[in-house]
């Protein structure tokens, strides 16, 4: 009897561990990054970290128990998780929704103190996409397929049903309209009053946010089609099929559009003529390129799933590269001042800063 009881409990515990280890309870995704020019806000699981851009140290604040890291939340809460790109408002709010299975709150936080300014509780699904701040409104894509508009005080202004699937892509704007891509194969142009101006149906789902430059919207789909769409009326300018699926946001300098692809475990990086969609040059890569690249004045930087950071000049010639051991890189490289920020997954640290020549300046590890 004793053996049976022990055996039974061992079985139960084994099954529990195996099921839990399957990773379903907490949703996982790549980290989100934002900066106000002095601090870096890193949404990476249970916390939103507040890190000094100058040296990578975590900001602390005084409490009755002494100094504590200025994170949100201050104490770990397994019911909350954060992966979206934090949205920063002009009046000093940080807006982000919880991506956890059990807490679907949209928070407005004072990034200095971590105090909650307001919340929106009316959702039953996670927030995975970052919000857009335009003028005095916050536009937050939600897990219920709606785009919500809030005032800066948290009052809900309107909602727009864009999809019957969760929205994963941050909206973008040209200052006049809001452009929202969905996994339901569509991009919507919505005016600030919440009305649809136009929509365009694509051949597949869209994960990376569109890029808008000079009245043209560049959108990549999971089928590998790169589209140029007229932002004013939603008409198609051109489409180019690339090898592999496009998972990240394309970037453009007005001359070329730069984008990476995922083709199984490998990837390919492209420069495509922005005016006609012809491939200018391409580079095979041994790692999948899921994140959108970073464009600076003289280089384009992309990251791969194999933990490599690759810098090319605009003709496609390599400039420098760096590798983070054992890391997987899905978060787009992020330019903050004169450093490039990298938020790896599976690495020994949560954040690293590189100068524009590829030298590592600092790393941040949560204590």
Partner 1 sequence: MWDLLIVNPFTNMLLLIYAFVGNFGVAIILFTIFIRLLTHPIMAQQIKSSTAMQQLMASDEWLKIQEKYKGDKEKLAQEQMRIYSERGVSPFSSCLPTLIQFPILIGFYQSIVRAIGATPLQLLSLVRGIYPGLENITPAASLSSLIPIHSQFLWMNLGQPEGIKLSFLPFAIPVLAIIVGLTTFVQTKLTMQPSASPNDQSAQMNQMMGLYMPVLLFYFALNFASGLAVYFITSNLLGIAQYAALGKVNWNNLFSFGPAKKPEVKAKSGKRS
Residues that bind partner 1 (CB under 8 A): 1, 4-5, 8, 11-12, 15-16, 18-19, 22-25, 27-30, 83, 99, 101-102, 124-126, 128, 163-166, 168, 183-185, 203-205, 207, 222-223, 245, 247, 262, 264-265, 290, 330
Distance in Å, CB of 223 to partner 1, minimum: 6
User: Residue 35 or residue 221: which is nearer to partner 1 going by CB?
Assistant: 221
CA–CA dist 96, 365 (Å, integer): 22
Burial of 83 (0-12, 13-18, 19+ CB in 10 A): buried
For 2, the enclosing helix (H) or strand (E) is: helix 2-21
User: Residue 107 or residue 127: which is nearer to partner 1 going by CB?
Assistant: 127
User: Residue 6 or residue 115: which is nearer to partner 1 going by CB?
Assistant: 6
Distance in Å, CB of 33 to partner 1, minimum: 15
User: Residue 117 or residue 328: which is nearer to partner 1 going by CB?
Assistant: 328
User: Residue 111 or residue 244: which is nearer to partner 1 going by CB?
Assistant: 244
Q: Which of 184, 155, 153 is nearest to 167 (CA)?
A: 184
Distance in Å, CB of 157 to partner 1, minimum: 23
Distance in Å, CB of 328 to partner 1, minimum: 9
Distance in Å, CB of 135 to partner 1, minimum: 29
CA–CA dist 181, 208 (Å, integer): 8
Output the CA angle 263-34-91, nearest 5 degrees: 145
User: Residue 128 or residue 190: which is nearer to partner 1 going by CB?
Assistant: 128
Distance in Å, CB of 141 to partner 1, minimum: 13
CA–CA dist 152, 87 (Å, integer): 12
Q: List Cβ neighbours of 210 (8 Å cut-off, separation of 6 or more).
A: 172, 179, 181, 187, 217, 218, 219, 229, 249, 250
């Amino acid at each position: 009897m004793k053996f049976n009881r022990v055996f039974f409990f061992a079985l139960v515990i084994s099954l529990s561990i195996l099921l839990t280890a399957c990773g379903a309870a907490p949703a996982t995704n790549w980290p989100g990054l934002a900066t106000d020019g002095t601090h870096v806000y890193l949404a990476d699981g249970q916390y939103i970290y507040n890190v000094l851009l100058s040296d990578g140290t975590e900001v602390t604040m005084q409490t009755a128990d002494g100094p504590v890291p200025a994170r949100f939340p201050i104490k770990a809460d397994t019911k909350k998780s954060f992966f979206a790109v934090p949205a920063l408002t002009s009046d000093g709010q940080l807006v982000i929704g919880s991506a956890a299975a059990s807490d679907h709150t949209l928070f407005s936080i004072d990034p200095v103190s971590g105090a909650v300014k307001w919340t929106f509780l009316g959702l039953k699904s996670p927030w995975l996409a970052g919000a857009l701040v335009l003028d005095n409104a916050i536009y937050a894509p939600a897990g219920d397929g709606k785009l919500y508009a809030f005032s800066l005080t948290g009052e809900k202004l309107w909602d727009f049903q864009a999809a019957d699937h969760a929205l994963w892509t941050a909206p973008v704007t040209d200052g006049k309209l809001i452009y929202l891509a969905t996994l339901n194969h569509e991009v919507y142009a919505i005016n600030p009053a919440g009305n649809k101006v136009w929509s365009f149906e694509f051949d597949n789902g869209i994960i990376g946010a569109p890029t808008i430059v000079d009245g043209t919207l560049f959108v990549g789909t999971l089928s590998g089609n790169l589209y140029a769409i007229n932002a004013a009326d939603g008409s198609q300018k051109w489409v180019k099929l690339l090898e592999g699926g496009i998972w990240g946001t394309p970037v453009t300098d007005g001359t070329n559009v730069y984008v990476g692809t995922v083709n199984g475990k490998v990837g390919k990086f492209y420069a495509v003529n922005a005016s006609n969609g012809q491939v200018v040059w391409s580079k095979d890569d041994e790692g999948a390129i899921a994140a959108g690249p970073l464009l600076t004045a003289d280089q384009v930087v992309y990251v791969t799933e194999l933990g490599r950071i690759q810098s090319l000049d605009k003709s496609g010639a390599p400039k420098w590269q760096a590798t983070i051991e054992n890391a997987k890189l899905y978060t787009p490289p992020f330019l903050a001042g004169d450093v490039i920020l990298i938020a790896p997954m599976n690495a020994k640290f949560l954040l690293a800063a590189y100068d524009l020549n590829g030298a590592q300046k600092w790393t941040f590890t949560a204590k």
